[in-house]
């Protein structure tokens, strides 16, 4: 007699019930995922995948469990995707060559040679000119600051800088 009083619960695997669950929950689930993860395309994909998982498990779930199953599954799928994206990004960073040059080998060789010539030319400058040049160009000090620290006039600093630049231009002009 007890068995007669109990109605069998509708099966989630039946097409009309599953369609009803889909129609009721898809848009809400998608919007929830858009709000949570701010990615419309991914939200649509994850919502669809959650319904696929629901269909795969429809035999063990009741229709009233469908909504909580969908949301839980969708969040887990989203978090797994985010975790996967981080792994991919880390791999790309690690596998990317340290310095990527788009220049030709000839250009790189010329650049290295010019750099070496300039370094040699700077080192060959008279000490007073070299000091002023390095303080201005590498320490970013103004002529006034250089004059104060070397106990010179600003005009003397300007003259030394001018002479240093003339010497360095000769090196660059020959390139």
Q: Going residue by residue through the chain (175 aa), what tens digit of pLDDT does each one get?
A: 444 444 555 788 888 988 999 999 999 999 888 888 788 898 999 999 999 999 998 888 888 888 999 999 998 998 888 888 888 888 877 776 655 557 788 888 888 888 888 888 888 888 888 889 988 988 888 999 999 988 999 999 999 999 999 988 887 776 5
Q: Which of these, 116, 93, 92, lies nearest to 171 by C-alpha position?
A: 116
- pLDDT of the residue at 123: 85
CA 33 to chain centre: 23
- pLDDT of the residue at 4: 45
Domains belonging to the chain, first-starting first, are 8-95 (1.10.1740), 105-173 (1.10.10.10)
Tokens of 70: 């969908």
- pLDDT of the residue at 56: 92
- pLDDT of the residue at 27: 92
Q: What angle do CA 56, 59, 63 make, to 5 degrees?
A: 100
- pLDDT of the residue at 160: 93
């Amino acid at each position: 007699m007890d068995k007669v009083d109990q109605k069998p619960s509708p099966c989630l695997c039946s097409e009309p019930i599953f369609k009803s669950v889909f129609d009721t929950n898809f848009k809400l689930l998608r919007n929830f995922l858009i709000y949570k993860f701010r990615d419309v395309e991914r939200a649509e994909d994850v919502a669809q995948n959650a319904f696929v998982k629901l269909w795969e498990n429809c035999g063990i779930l009741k229709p009233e469990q469908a909504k909580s199953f969908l949301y839980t599954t969708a969040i887990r799928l989203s978090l797994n995707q985010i975790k996967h994206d981080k792994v991919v990004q880390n791999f790309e960073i690690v596998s990317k060559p340290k310095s990527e040059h788009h220049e030709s080998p000839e250009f790189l060789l010329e650049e290295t040679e010019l750099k070496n010539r300039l370094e040699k030319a700077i080192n060959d400058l008279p000490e007073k000119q070299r000091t002023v040049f390095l303080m201005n160009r590498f320490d970013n000090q103004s002529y006034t600051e250089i004059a104060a620290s070397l106990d010179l006039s600003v005009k003397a600093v300007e003259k030394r800088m001018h002479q240093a630049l003339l010497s360095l231009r000769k090196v660059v002009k020959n390139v």
